Amino acid sequence: ILKKLEYSYTSRELENCFEKLCKARQKLIQPFFKTVEEKIHSFLEEEYEPGKFDEDNITEFITLKGERVRSKSELLISDHLNRYEVPYRYEKPIELQDRHKTVICRPDFTVMNRRTGKIFLHEHLGRMDDEDYVSANMRKLELYEKNGYLLGENLIVTHETSKAPLNVKVLDMYIKTYFI
């Protein structure tokens, strides 16, 4: 309930309430909510095992942050997030429930809105003209939905095909709408 309450307030509203208190009252209160800066710091400092690359994968797409990603489009997404100074983690594992079992999933990007601290998953579907790829990713999107990750709410999806590459203007709109 407290987490839902936290996201129902606008940017920095809870922090401002605490800041307006006199110093004596501030000493009596242990804030439950972290500031956005504290959330961002914790989010960026959290350690996790990076995703594994197949041994036969010789591609070397390295982001401005020095991370190896799986495609040119993921490189582009990462570098755009960096350009806008949006905190994100690449392939950060999350636990999802699937038929009473815990499944570890690695969304392409876990992104934090730098104004509110809200977490979004950003999946990039890069081979939408490959039927097997589409089927596997539809299953993944269903799993996200069953676990409360909903398109436009806390799940963002970009896509492309071999004939229609990632549109960077659309990517910028997503970043400006959801992450800044």
Q: Name the residue ranges covered by the structural domains of the chain.
A: 1-33, 34-179
- CB distance 138 to 50 below 8 Å: no
Q: 34-179: what CATH class?
A: alpha beta
In percent, the amount of the chain with pLDDT more than 70 equals 90
- Tens of pLDDT, residue by residue over 57-109, are 888 899 999 999 999 999 999 999 999 999 999 999 999 999 999 999 999 99
In percent, the amount of the chain with pLDDT more than 90 equals 71
- Tens of pLDDT, residue by residue over 126-162, are 999 999 999 999 999 999 999 999 999 999 999 999 9
Residue 26 reports pLDDT greater than 90: no
Specify the pTM: 0.83
Residue 32 reports pLDDT greater than 80: no
